Amino acid sequence: MDPATTFAVALAAYVLLVLAVGWFATRRASASSEEYFLAGRGLGTLVLFMALFGTNCTAFVLVGIPGQAYHDGLGVFSVNAPIIALGIPLTFWAIGAPARRLAAQYGAMTPAELYSRRFGSRAVGVLLFAFYTLYTLLYMVTAIRGAAVTLNVVTEGGVPEWVGGAAVLVVAVVYTSLGGMRATAWTNVVQGAIFLGFMMAVFFVFADGVSDGAGVSGAMRKVREHDAALLGVKDAGLYAPTAWTSWGLAITLTVIAFPHMLVRLMAADSDRALKNVCRLYPIAIIALWVPAVMIGVWGAVAFPGLEGRDSDQIFSMMAAEYLPPALSALGFLAVLAAVMSTLDAQILTLGSMLSRDVMTPADDERRDIWRGRVFSVVIAVAVFLLWQVGGQSIFSLASIAFSGYVTLTPTLLFGMRWRRFNARGAVTSILIANAVYFLALARAGGIGSAKEPAWLGFLPVMWGLVAGVAGAVLGTLWGGRAATRA
């Protein structure tokens, strides 16, 4: 079978698989709003873990991280994986566990709806929805770009990027709309297994390819001969102590603020399932991030001279160079699986928030479900148009979104853990945090400068976080009586 046929067959099989899962989930998804938006709050340990892990691991990891490691070397690992492997499970428990319990008690189906009911304030829900939407749309663009770039490279330009991106959006919208949360969770099990297994396997294959059969140690010698700086950690830019601390906080705190992650935690069937996920997460994160970084580092040896956002192609270039056609096709499917495992969750979550937080929930639950489906299409079109006018690299776009999400974490944490925290504190925190964040971005050099220092060497995210905490405390202390927490 020639490479083109192999690729076409693999792609068709994958698309049919995810559509079949969506179709099988349709009957249960149509039973109620809670079933469609939250899988009946019944996700057990395995499906919950794969839904969270698959949703968390996007084109940012499989395409953006290798692209950044191509330029920065092993230092990329130091500012990401060790911190998030420990920090993310802690935030799952600190915020996710009480959020799950309160969401069930209030009957809330979205993060914005949960906090709106927690404070008895529609303003809190609307504000959360607005900023969730802003940062999630930016994040979704990174997913589409990752899939489109990979498809374009794998087909040697045969599929234009805009066609590939549009096709990915269409497939994701179809199976998400059919089966809701249960469809996205079930497909995440398959998708997570594909990209995690693939990344662990090609770690050794790429090492042999770069080193002419000498394995990992040989590949590292090649890197040392090419540019020894790639094996160290820089002491400037993102790796300066103040910037490193800022980015470490960003990458640790941002995941719990992803609405598509928090809503999955709300769908857990028990605290026990959440605890099990927290134990498994560090192992899986390290197993994925080590290969992702090393692909970029070894790629600098195999394909020197890439500049700027062109390095986002390094994963696909390595796959095309060192893998046989069948495995090369699987490499694209790994990226596609990572992209769609996040994209489907984002489409569903934004659609559900539009249906329930912007509009009044319908008396007829079937109408709620159909509104969510229609909004999913609207969101997909908005993402496609935004992608067409954007010019940032995947890492840069993700940095803007990740840093923005962090401005919401004071409200998310205090809303679950501080009994006195109230609606005024939440509104003040969100508005001040984002105002300071955007001022800091301007100070750092503009909208694409989330990784550049603003004041005193700290990145914009640090100033947004500090302002958010200060706004939460001051707003609450000046806000009169606290909202009652059940």
CA separation for the pair 257, 75 (Å, rounded): 25
Q: Would 197 be classed as within a structural domain?
A: yes
Compare 157 and 394 and report the one with higher pLDDT.
Answer: 157
pLDDT of amino acid 188: 79
Domain region containing 103: 3-391
pLDDT of amino acid 361: 66
| Closest alpha carbon to 240 in 467, 456, 465 | 456
pLDDT of amino acid 258: 92
**Residue pair 111/132 in contact by the 8 Å Cβ criterion:** yes
For 139, the token pair is 């994040």
Does the pLDDT at position 460 exceed 90?
Answer: yes
| 3-state SS class at 268 | strand
Helices (H), 418-459: 423-444
Residue 21 binned pLDDT confidence (cut-offs 50, 70, 90): confident
For 263, the token pair is 């809503």
Q: Would 397 be classed as within a structural domain?
A: no
Sign of the four-CA dihedral 102, 106, 110, 115: negative
**Residue pair 185/43 in contact by the 8 Å Cβ criterion:** yes
CA separation for the pair 97, 417 (Å, rounded): 11
Amino acid identity at 323: L
Averaged confidence pLDDT in the chain: 84
CA neighbours within 13 Å on the CB side: how many for 83?
18
From residue 291, how far is each of 105, 238, 320, 416 by CA, in Å?
A: 42, 21, 17, 36
For range 71-83, the mean pLDDT: 76
pLDDT of amino acid 463: 96
Does the pLDDT at position 165 exceed 60?
Answer: yes
Residue 416 binned pLDDT confidence (cut-offs 50, 70, 90): very high
Over the stretch 253-300, which tens digit does the pLDDT of each residue have? 888 999 999 999 999 999 999 999 999 888 888 888 889 899 999 999
From residue 475, how far is each of 23, 73, 471, 482 by CA, in Å?
A: 47, 43, 6, 11
CATH code of 305's domain: 1.20.1730.10
Q: Would 446 be classed as within a structural domain?
A: no
Residue 394 binned pLDDT confidence (cut-offs 50, 70, 90): low
pLDDT of amino acid 4: 65
pLDDT of amino acid 486: 40
Residue 31 binned pLDDT confidence (cut-offs 50, 70, 90): low
Compare 9 and 434 and report the one with higher pLDDT.
Answer: 434
Torsion of CA 81, 86, 90, 92, to 10 degrees: 40
For 205, the token pair is 């294959």
CA separation for the pair 332, 162 (Å, rounded): 16
Q: Would 72 be classed as within a structural domain?
A: yes
Q: Would 366 be classed as within a structural domain?
A: yes
pLDDT of amino acid 2: 62
pLDDT of amino acid 152: 79
The length of the chain in residues reads 486
Q: Would 480 be classed as within a structural domain?
A: no
**Residue pair 63/312 in contact by the 8 Å Cβ criterion:** yes
| 3-state SS class at 458 | strand
For range 23-29, the mean pLDDT: 67
Residue 390 binned pLDDT confidence (cut-offs 50, 70, 90): low
Q: Would 357 be classed as within a structural domain?
A: yes
pLDDT of amino acid 484: 43
**Residue pair 136/257 in contact by the 8 Å Cβ criterion:** no
DSSP string, 62-104: IIIHHHHHHHHTTHHHHTSHHHHHHHHHHHIIIIIHHHHHHHH
Q: Phi and psi dihedrals of 43, rounded to 5?
A: -80, 120
Burial 114-152 (b: 16+ CB within 10 A, else e): bbbbbbebeebbebbbebbbebbbbbbbbbbbbbbbbbb
Number of domains in the chain: 1
Q: Which of 95-104, 138-147, 199-208, 390-399 has the lowest mean pLDDT?
A: 390-399
Residue 1 binned pLDDT confidence (cut-offs 50, 70, 90): low
For range 334-352, the mean pLDDT: 79
DSSP string, 3-46: HHHHHHHHHHHHHHHHHHHHHHTHHHHTT-HHHHHHGGG-B-HH
pTM over 0.85: no
Over the stretch 112-154, which tens digit does the pLDDT of each residue have? 999 999 999 999 999 999 999 999 988 888 778 877 877 777 7
Q: Would 236 be classed as within a structural domain?
A: yes
CA separation for the pair 143, 138 (Å, rounded): 9
From residue 371, how far is each of 108, 176, 366, 382 by CA, in Å?
A: 17, 13, 9, 17
Over the stretch 59-76, which tens digit does the pLDDT of each residue have? 677 777 898 899 989 888
Over the stretch 347-382, which tens digit does the pLDDT of each residue have? 888 888 887 777 776 667 677 778 878 888 888 888
For 388, residues 6+ apart whose C-beta sits below 8 A from its C-beta are 162
pLDDT of amino acid 256: 92
Q: How far is CA 161 from the centre of its chain?
A: 21
Percent of the chain with pLDDT over 70: 91
pLDDT of amino acid 83: 66
